[in-house]
Amino acid sequence: MITVVRAGPLTTVQDLGRPGWAHLGVPVSGALDAPALRLANRLVGNPDGTAGLEITAGRYAMSVARAATVALTGADAGLTVAGRPAPFGAPVAVPNGATVEVGPARHGVRSYLAIAGGVDVPAVLGSRSTDTLSGLGPKRLCDGDELPLGEPTGEPSGVDFVPTSVPRGDLVLRVRLGPRDDWFTDPTELLTEAYTVDVNSNRVGARLTGRPLTRAVTDELPSEGIVLGAVQVPANGQPLVFLADHPTTGGYPVIGVVDEADLPLLAQARPGDRVRFRLS
């Protein structure tokens, strides 16, 4: 077991999600920065899809009831074990009963903490991920929660270089226009304007603020399918990029779809960071 001492602003259990259920209204969910979770798992000897913890903005602490190995990746944050500093992006041995603490995120938003053996909560539709929109999977963590651990299956391994999804400077997202770009007076405005990440962004989507996009068609749009990375434009004209916990249908026009490979960068963008789009 691990016991949550301090849950932080938002900490959830995440793996690589539950694809294949959109026809039933269930989004993929899973880690917003999947490459960071994969790396953390590899560092502690877990398979890529093992469930770990997605820690938003840091300030998380837990105690471990057995000796374990952990690794922290994603958003850069300080890591301590039993009160001693530990390296970021490397396997770290944790003694039985020790407390593991993740400090505030210095760069980026979401850190990923993997534990050897993984977080062994019950799977729902093939995934242990918390879906914050539908409520599927385990609830968001609270102080005092206890989580079971699985048995380690591999040996920890270090790396010489830790890749990161944390953006530096303006973030450029590759996008394909459509399917409803013809509903806008000039859809290329999306490509020429700079936007900033809004504070109301979450696991469902990244809200952007900037010059509003002008609608050419003002009719009501019947609800239609929404995919990961869809750039939906609500009535206020401000684009919204859907992330892992997105709804599977929506009634506002989608002007384009962001390349899925760029979404981990957006998941690490902080409120106020600048975002631009370019054609994929």
Portions of the chain given CATH number 2.40.100.10: 171-279
Q: Are strands 84-86 and 68-81 parallel, antiparallel or unpaired?
A: antiparallel
d(CA 38, CA 91): 13
Q: Mean of the pLDDT values across residues 241-253?
A: 96
Eight-class DSSP state of 38: H
Q: Mean of the pLDDT values across residues 174-180?
A: 97
> Is pTM, for the whole model, over 0.85?
yes
pLDDT, position 62: 98
Strand partners, 174: 278
* Percent of the chain residues topping a pLDDT of 70: 100
pLDDT, position 204: 98
Assigned token pair, 208: 């952007």
d(CA 99, CA 77): 16
Portions of the chain given CATH number 2.60.120: 2-147
CATH fold of 2-147, please? Jelly Rolls (2.60.120)
Pick from 100, 120, 86, 97: nearest CA to 55: 100
pLDDT, position 160: 79
Pick from 190, 182, 255, 240: nearest CA to 216: 182
> Would you say domain 171-279 falls under CATH 2.40.50.140?
no
Q: Mean of the pLDDT values across residues 227-248?
A: 97
Residue 73 pLDDT greater than 90, yes or no: yes
Q: Mean of the pLDDT values across residues 172-185?
A: 97
Question: If you average pLDDT over every residue of the chain, what do you get?
Answer: 96
pLDDT, position 164: 81
pLDDT, position 175: 98
Residue 167 pLDDT greater than 90, yes or no: no
Residue 267 pLDDT greater than 90, yes or no: yes
Q: Which residue has the tokens 């993984």?
A: 118
pLDDT, position 252: 96
Distances (CA, A) of 195 to 107, 156, 204, 226, 240: 19, 41, 18, 22, 11
Neighbours of 170 (CB within 10 A): 10
Q: Are strands 240-242 and 249-250 parallel, antiparallel or unpaired?
A: unpaired
d(CA 243, CA 264): 9
Residue 270 pLDDT greater than 90, yes or no: yes
Q: Are strands 224-225 and 249-250 parallel, antiparallel or unpaired?
A: antiparallel
Long-range contacts, stretch 144-147, CB < 8 angstroms, 24+ apart:
144/3, 144/4, 145/3, 145/4, 145/7, 146/1, 146/2, 146/3, 146/4, 147/1, 147/2, 147/4, 147/13, 147/119, 147/120, 147/121
122-135: buried (b, 16+ CB within 10 Å) or exposed (e) per residue?
A: eebbebbbbbbbee
Contacts of 140 (CB under 8 A, 6+ apart): 7, 10, 11, 12, 130, 132
pLDDT, position 57: 95
pLDDT, position 158: 81
Q: Mean of the pLDDT values across residues 14-36?
A: 95
Q: Mean of the pLDDT values across residues 242-258?
A: 97
Q: Are 113 and 65 in contact (CB under 8 A)?
A: no
